[in-house]
Structure 1
Amino acid sequence: MEKRREVSLVVLSDVHLGTYGCRAKELHKYLKSIRPQILVLNGDIIDIWNFRKSYFPASHLKVIKQVINLMSKGTNVYYLTGNHDEMLRKFSEFSMGNFTLADKLVIDLDGGRKAWIFHGDVFDASIQNAKWLAKLGGWGYDVLIMINSLVNYLLEKMGREKYSLSKKIKNSVKKAVKYITDFERTAAELAIDNGMDYVICGHIHQPQMREVINKKGKTIYLNSGDWVENLTSLEYREGEWHIFRFEEEFCEEENSTDEPDLDPIDLDRLWLRIAAFQPEVR
Structure 2
Amino acid sequence: MKKRKVELVVISDVHLGTFGCHAKELLLYLNSIKPKKLILNGDIIDIWQFRKRYFPKSHLEVIKKIIDLSANGTEVIYITGNHDDLLRKFCDVKMGKISLVNKVVLNLDGKKAWFFHGDVFDASIQNAKWLAKLGGWGYDILILINRFLNWWLLKFKREKFSLSKKIKNGVKKAVKHINDFEEVASDLAIEKNYKYVVCGHIHQPQIVRKVNRNGTCLYLNSGDWVENLTSLEYHQKRWKLHQFRKEDYANLYQEEIEKNVKTEFQDLLAAITITTPKKGN
Give TM class, smaller chain.
0.7 to 0.9
Q: Residue 70 of structure 1 aligns to which amino acid in structure 2? A: L
SS of structure 1 residue aligned to 2:207: strand
Distance across 1 between alignment mates of 2:58 and 2:98: 22
Q: Structure 1 regions of 5+ residues with no counterpart?
A: 265-282
Q: Residue 167 of structure 2 aligns to which amino acid in structure 1? A: I
Shift of 1:256: 3.9
Distance 1:243 1:47, change over 3 A: same
Q: Residue 79 of structure 1 aligns to which amino acid in structure 2? A: Y
Alignment of 1:190-229 (within 5 A): 190-229=188-227
Distance 1:137 1:13, change over 3 A: farther
Distance across 1 between alignment mates of 2:146 and 2:20: 10
Q: Does 1:95 align with 2:94?
A: yes
Shift of 1:258: 5.6
Measured against aligned partners, the alpha-carbon deviations of 1:93-128 in whole angstroms (never above 9, x if no partner) come to: 111221110000111111x10110000000013999
Distance across 1 between alignment mates of 2:230 and 2:158: 23
Q: Does 1:177 align with 2:175?
A: yes
2:106 maps to what in 1?
107
The TM-score, its normalising length taken from structure 2, stands at 0.87
1:268 maps to what in 2?
none
Distance across 1 between alignment mates of 2:247 and 2:115: 25
SS of structure 2 residue aligned to 1:225: coil
Distance across 1 between alignment mates of 2:126 and 2:30: 36
Distance 1:77 1:33, change over 3 A: same
C-alpha contact (below 8 Å) 1:10/1:233 kept by paired residues: yes
Shift of 1:175: 1.1
2:67 maps to what in 1?
68
Of the structure 1 ranges 155-164 and 34-43, higher mean CA displacement relative to structure 2 is found in 155-164
Shift of 1:255: 2.8
Q: For 1:250, which of 248, 251, 261 is the aligned residue?
A: 248
2:267 maps to what in 1?
none
Distance across 2 between alignment mates of 1:255 and 1:137: 32
Alignment of 1:109-188 (within 5 A): 109-110=108-109, 112-125=110-123, 134=132, 138-188=136-186
Shift of 1:220: 0.2
| Identity score, percent | 61
SS of structure 2 residue aligned to 1:74: coil
Q: Residue 227 of structure 1 aligns to which amino acid in structure 2? A: W
C-alpha contact (below 8 Å) 1:127/1:179 kept by paired residues: no
C-alpha contact (below 8 Å) 1:199/1:222 kept by paired residues: yes
Q: Residue 245 of structure 1 aligns to which amino acid in structure 2? A: Q
C-alpha contact (below 8 Å) 1:133/1:176 kept by paired residues: no
Distance 1:129 1:177, change over 3 A: farther
Q: Residue 198 of structure 1 aligns to which amino acid in structure 2? A: Y
SS of structure 2 residue aligned to 1:64: helix
Shift of 1:252: 6.3
Distance across 1 between alignment mates of 2:195 and 2:93: 26
Q: Structure 2 regions of 5+ residues with no counterpart?
A: 265-281
C-alpha contact (below 8 Å) 2:246/2:253 kept by paired residues: no
Shift of 1:130: 9.0
Measured against aligned partners, the alpha-carbon deviations of 1:14-66 in whole angstroms (never above 9, x if no partner) come to: 00000000000000000000000000000000000000011100000000010
Q: Does 1:50 align with 2:75?
A: no
The TM-score, its normalising length taken from structure 1, stands at 0.86
Distance across 2 between alignment mates of 1:133 and 1:201: 22
Distance across 1 between alignment mates of 2:76 and 2:60: 17
Distance 1:181 1:243, change over 3 A: same
Task: State the Cα RMSD in Å.
Answer: 2.4
Distance across 2 between alignment mates of 1:192 and 1:172: 31
